[in-house]
Structure 1
Amino acid sequence: MHSMNITRRRFLGGLGTTLAAGMLPMPAWAQASAAAAASADRLREPLSGWTPGMLDIHHIGTGRGNATLIVCPDGTSMMIDAGAIDGLDKYLIDELPNDSRRAGEWVGRYVRRHLAQAGRHEIDDFVLTHFHRDHMGERLPDTPMASNGKYALTGLIDVAQIVPIRRYLDRGFPDYDFPAPLDDPNQLNYRAFIQAERARGAAVERFRAGAGDQLRLRRRPAAYPGFAVRNLMVNGEVWTGEGERTRNLFPPGAVPTENQCSLALRMDYGAFKYYSGGDVSNTTNYYGDDPWRDVETPAAQIAGPVDVAVANHHAYADAMGPACVRALRPRAFVILSNDSAHPSITPLENMLSQRLYPGPRDIYATAMKPENIIANKRVREMTSLNGHVVVRVEPGGARYRIVVLDNSDESDRVLAVHGPYASGRREAVGG
């Protein structure tokens, strides 16, 4: 791995901000500089800043819910989920870095730091995979209210108090009634917030299965023609792979669970491919009944092989089945964990299996309950058990690294750097 002195990295960070702010063309020398910046992350030092042409995917580890920040090659900013479980359940992972702030506040502060390095101060697109507390936030009787008195501060809403959001995409807008009215306290809190955001001028849309242009670069799309996001699935409607056509997995009259309605997407940058599917699952507890409840297999099969995959449903017992793992066959899995059963034994066995697909692979968790290390022996074979997991894709998408950051404080110190890996290949390549 190449190393660079601090002065060089600071120069590159400043150059990236200047280019992003000025929307200047990115010449070959700048692309080379951005690639050098991607390899400049050094152990025990803060993560180097994003520069134009890079794709950074930050899996934020608070131990209390999913949260992913994406800084695209042209500086477009996206987020997938911002969860916050605020209860005191013995099965939950302790709050990270500590309990002096709510999980959503920690996420918002992380997002603000890393967007500022890219010269950005807002989130262009926020994507909510589904309406569960560990993906959007939890309202309890003692959750503090916003100053306007209309909703409680938790998860996504805490993030939006720190970093403004321009557009929201979810599975339910505008009616929020599939497969039944979404009206538990957490969902009603989210809906009240969305109503207030619309009044403020933010856009809200329903995530459209099959769409290839709903999530797109907003600043310099012509400069990065190899970047695209495909909406794979939502509400049981899955892309067929042809145009924007879809098919419905749910039979008439079916009543799916909230997890089965999760959305899934694939992000491409050149040869690099990334999969994220919220809590889609195969629902093994039905023991062969209602086979339509297996939504993760169709999602994975239409996604196809990827380089990095977020583990469905935190790699819990009803997810990451053999067919899903075989279809995705990533070089790296990322588990966004919050519970003592993340990952569960069988999903981890599947992700490690050389029978499902051959070759090396890495498995990262953003946090780990210590009891799971004892109960699930193969956890010791995972690459990393704790920390923010940052996927850094070089300009053009041909290579990427995976950087693990310290989540015990806000220093963003580098704990480990893995790669570089050639996109579409299984082994690391020379740096």
Structure 2
Amino acid sequence: MPLKNNGAIDYALLTHFDTDHIGQNGKLAIEKVGLDYKLTGITHVGNLLDISTLIDRGYPTYDYPTAAKVTGAHISNYKLYVAARDREGKKNEGFVTGSNTQIKLLKAPGSYPTFEVRNIVGNGKIWTGSGTTSKELVPSTASSSEQLNENRCSCGIRITYGNFDYFSGGDILGVEKAPEWFDIETPVATLLGETDVVVANHHAYSDAMCDTYISQVKAQAYVIPVWDYYHPQPAPLSRMLSQSLYAGERSVFAAGMVDSNRSRLGEDGLKIKPAGHVVTRVYPGGEKFQIFVLNDRNEAYEILYKTGEIKSNN
């Protein structure tokens, strides 16, 4: 399907450098004459679309928590792509935790004064909640074994429009709480408060979507990005649906959900809405929103399911 805007997009944000988020450098990666990198994941997308600004967690040094931690064939391939963009004069940026201007409206911003994209957490830093300042998550006294893994380095952003809030945190984790800074979810939830739509962290795997996170964000809708048979896991799904963590209605959506996993999850699995491409439509002013599930098996994208209009949290 032809894209508008001449096949260009303003921003691409990579939350972190795992293969399922930037692409593998294996046998399915495509070699193209004239390129010193292979086409896979974001490097392939970047050759199909003109990305005006590419943002990742480590540009330009790629050395957090250490340079040795930011290695692998897939990362080397990605770095070659970034270097090519540098040579072409395209804009590459490192994620600036705390900023509310790195990602901004470029078209008629004055018409939407309540719209904001806030960089909440990323690359070992978290917004302080004041201005645009951030602080380190890991104390300087931490040992090498107490440094953050790749998932915990994920970049998370909150999109706000009027009363509406949407959070996407990549693969941040929260179930493991020793040392305390391994739990990224709880301090993030403290900053977020009630959030209308939340993308499930780490695909709602067993090490994410902890109770303290869920009880604070009190989402009206969760969206699970599924690519594995084991997404979501029973425990995080149960927590998302739990009326004891917070009371009230909520919906759970899962893009890419397979029927066999829905059956494995039993009663809770039946509560997940039909699988497909999940679209959140926010209405003018941000006072209400609606969620649609589109058929992602063809380019007609017919509507498979839709909610009613939902009032945004104050």
Aligned counterpart in structure 2 of residue 382 of structure 1, from 259, 264, 272: 272
What amino acid does structure 2 have at the position aligned with 1:161?
A: N
Aligned counterpart in structure 2 of residue 208 of structure 1, from 96, 107, 115: 96
Paired positions, count: 307
Secondary structure of the corresponding residue to residue 286 of structure 2:
coil
Deviation at 1:142, TM superposition (A): 4.6
Secondary structure of the corresponding residue to residue 368 of structure 1:
coil
Deviation at 1:261, TM superposition (A): 0.5
Secondary structure of the corresponding residue to residue 188 of structure 2:
helix
Q: Kindly indicate whether residue 155 of structure 2 is the aligned counterpart of residue 263 of structure 1.
A: yes
Q: What per-residue deviation string (whole Å, max 9, x for no partner) do you get for residues 218-237 of structure 1?
A: 12111111110111011221
Distance 1:120 1:420, change over 3 A: farther
Using the alignment, how far apart are the partners of 1:149 and 1:122 within structure 2?
A: 20
Using the alignment, how far apart are the partners of 1:359 and 1:274 within structure 2?
A: 18
Q: What per-residue deviation string (whole Å, max 9, x for no partner) do you get for residues 55-111 of structure 1?
A: xxxxxxxxxxxxxxxxxxxxxxxxxxxxxxxxxxxxxxxxxxxxxxxxxxxxxx6xx
Structure 1 stretches of 4+ with a deviation exceeding 3 A read: none
Unaligned runs of 5+ in 2: none
Q: Kindly indicate whether residue 25 of structure 2 is the aligned counterpart of residue 135 of structure 1.
A: no
Distance 1:420 1:234, change over 3 A: same
Deviation at 1:120, TM superposition (A): 5.7
Aligned to 1:234: 122
Q: What per-residue deviation string (whole Å, max 9, x for no partner) do you get for residues 201-248 of structure 1?
A: 211111111111111111211111111011101122111211112222
Aligned to 1:53: none
Aligned to 1:188: 76
Deviation at 1:402, TM superposition (A): 0.6
Describe how 1:12-411 pairs up with structure 2 within 5 A: 113=3, 116=4, 119=5, 121-181=7-67, 182-252=70-140, 253=142, 254-284=146-176, 288-377=177-266, 378-384=268-274, 386-411=275-300
Aligned to 1:55: none
Deviation at 1:195, TM superposition (A): 0.8
Using the alignment, how far apart are the partners of 2:238 and 2:247 within structure 1?
A: 14
Secondary structure of the corresponding residue to residue 326 of structure 1:
helix
Using the alignment, how far apart are the partners of 1:131 and 1:256 within structure 2?
A: 13
What amino acid does structure 1 have at the position aligned with 2:104?
A: R
Using the alignment, how far apart are the partners of 1:175 and 1:158 within structure 2?
A: 23
Deviation at 1:276, TM superposition (A): 0.4
- Answer whether contact 1:304 1:327 (CA < 8 A) is retained: yes
What amino acid does structure 2 have at the position aligned with 1:275?
A: F
Q: What per-residue deviation string (whole Å, max 9, x for no partner) do you get for residues 104-123 of structure 1?
A: xxxxx6xx54xx2xx56311
Flag the structure with more relative contact order, 1 or 2, with Cα contacts below 8 A and sequence separation at least 6.
1
Aligned to 1:75: none
Using the alignment, how far apart are the partners of 2:11 and 2:208 within structure 1?
A: 27
Using the alignment, how far apart are the partners of 2:192 and 2:77 within structure 1?
A: 33
Distance 1:283 1:179, change over 3 A: farther
Q: What per-residue deviation string (whole Å, max 9, x for no partner) do you get for residues 298-342 of structure 1?
A: 112211211111000000000001111111111100000111111
Secondary structure of the corresponding residue to residue 396 of structure 1:
helix
TM-score (norm 1): 0.69
- Answer whether contact 1:236 1:295 (CA < 8 A) is retained: no
- Answer whether contact 2:16 2:57 (CA < 8 A) is retained: yes
Moved more, 271-280 or 250-259: 250-259
Distance 1:392 1:372, change over 3 A: same
Using the alignment, how far apart are the partners of 2:196 and 2:175 within structure 1?
A: 25
Deviation at 1:390, TM superposition (A): 0.4
Deviation at 1:140, TM superposition (A): 0.2
Q: What per-residue deviation string (whole Å, max 9, x for no partner) do you get for residues 256-276 of structure 1?
A: 100010011100011111000
TM-score (norm 2): 0.94
Using the alignment, how far apart are the partners of 1:219 and 1:408 within structure 2?
A: 32
What amino acid does structure 1 have at the position aligned with 2:40?
A: T
What amino acid does structure 1 have at the position aligned with 2:197?
A: V
What amino acid does structure 1 have at the position aligned with 2:234?
A: I
Unaligned runs of 5+ in 1: 1-108, 426-431
Using the alignment, how far apart are the partners of 1:397 and 1:361 within structure 2?
A: 18
Identical-residue share of aligned pairs (%): 37
Deviation at 1:374, TM superposition (A): 2.8
Deviation at 1:360, TM superposition (A): 0.6
Deviation at 1:283, TM superposition (A): 4.5
Deviation at 1:251, TM superposition (A): 2.1
- Answer whether contact 2:175 2:210 (CA < 8 A) is retained: no
What amino acid does structure 2 have at the position aligned with 1:146?
A: K
